[in-house]
Amino acid sequence: MINIRIPWAKPTFYGKEKEYLLDAFESTWVSGGYYVDKFEDEFRRYNGSEYGITTCNGTASLQLAILALGIGPKDEVIVPGFTFVTPANIVIEAGAIPVYVDVDPLTWCIDPNSVEKYITSKTKAIFAVHVYGNVCDMDTLNNLAKKHHLYIIEDTAEAALSKYKGKCAGTFGDIGCFSFQATKTITMGEGGFVLTSDKGLHDKMRIIRDHGMRKDKHYWHDVVGYNFRLTNLQAAVGCGQLEHLNSIISDRQRVHSLYLKHLANEPGITFQYFKPEVAPIVWAIVLKIDSKFFKGDRDFLIKALLEFGIETRPGFYPFSLMPLYNAPTLTIAEDIGANVISLPSFNTLTEDEISFICDKLKTIRK
């Protein structure tokens, strides 16, 4: 068995997460409670959004968005070809049709210039997935949405704390969705969030999250709902994280710049490109590999690094390669999916560990 010396991801707890968790536990408010309300208010304010609701995970956040926007059977929703799978699954689960479009070869986010040709009279929404901490071209997407009367759902699961033109990712579309799963930039084990500036959408989402039950009449239901609630225990951990956002940001930036220092000028290695208007808080450090410069392809690199105890991840498989999704060829997504490798990216990585990872990567050169 291979001994993992440096894992791909590891959560970092900076301060009072444990104290608040025990406090929530001892209060016996283990379902809803004080920390849920506190996290809701503080995270919403940090992002500069009018309304915010905690949820049990990122997947539930996306589902809440789709339900609140009334997207259902026969509606079409535009989904980028290169992303973690959730947006497509949620669209399919709603009975709607995902329309897959290719991504930008440099930013790896949805290519806004190829979106318009996929818009039909049935299109209801565009999923703007902020991949690996980058932020999509929100100006172009919002202009398209306005022109064609479409909703924008921002999948900000990988881009908490990233900014676009000085504003937080997740505040540009109709609804911004977040995940607080263990590997994410802010974590509470599992958890999620939705942001919106629309009171109507907020009210709908709050009710759907809570079994569809009316707020002023117990056990009365006007809409079909779910239980997408976050627990007070998880929110307590989240409140501890919110007290250290500056440390999370500076640690993520330190890790990113150390990788750039070691690898930016290496032939055969390309980093994800961030446009000047994006201030990314990178969730995962991901490199595109040109296998001509290495002893093998990306999958060979993953195995070779594992031999040194370094755990990595491949890129997302594009929808076009997974028969389940029945997607057309997506040339750029396929190229990125086949050639990117995600390196250990957690907040407490030391310079020595990053040097070790980069040195080992260089030993796999031709």
Among residues 21, 39, 49, 58, the one that binds ligand PLP under rule CB under 6 A: 58
Least Å distance, CB 257 to ligand PLP, is: 23
| Residues 145-164: x where in contact with ligand PLP by CB under 6 A, - otherwise, as a string | ----------x-xx------
59 part of the interface to ligand PLP, by CB under 6 A: yes
Among residues 49, 54, 63, 86, the one that binds ligand PLP under rule CB under 6 A: 86
CB 138, CB 128: distance < 8 Å: yes
83 part of the interface to ligand PLP, by CB under 6 A: yes
3-state secondary structure string, 29-58? CCCCCHHHHHHHHHHHHHHCCCEEEEECCH
Q: How far apart are CA 242 and CA 188, in angstroms?
A: 11
> Given the complex with ligand PLP, which of 86 and 272 has the nearer CB atom?
86
What is the pairing mode between strands 151-155 and 123-129? Answer: parallel
CB 34, CB 232: distance < 8 Å: yes
Among residues 13, 14, 46, 84, the one that binds ligand PLP under rule CB under 6 A: 84
Chain residue at closest Cβ approach to ligand PLP: 58
345 part of the interface to ligand PLP, by CB under 6 A: no
336 part of the interface to ligand PLP, by CB under 6 A: no
81 part of the interface to ligand PLP, by CB under 6 A: no
> Given the complex with ligand PLP, which of 86 and 162 has the nearer CB atom?
86
Residue numbers 181-220 binding ligand PLP by CB under 6 A: 181, 192
Burial of 67 from C-beta contacts in 10 A (0-12 / 13-18 / 19+)? buried
CB 69, CB 201: distance < 8 Å: yes
> Given the complex with ligand PLP, which of 86 and 134 has the nearer CB atom?
86
CB 78, CB 127: distance < 8 Å: yes
**CB contact burial 167-201 (16+ within 10 A = b; e otherwise):** ebbbbbbbbbbbbbbebbbbbbebbbbbbbeeeeb
57 part of the interface to ligand PLP, by CB under 6 A: yes
134 part of the interface to ligand PLP, by CB under 6 A: no
Among residues 129, 263, 269, 285, the one that binds ligand PLP under rule CB under 6 A: 129
**Residue 349, strand partner residues:** none
Q: Using CB under 6 A as the criterion, which residues of the chain lie in contact with ligand PLP when the complex forms? A: 57-59, 83-84, 86, 129, 155, 157-158, 179, 181, 192
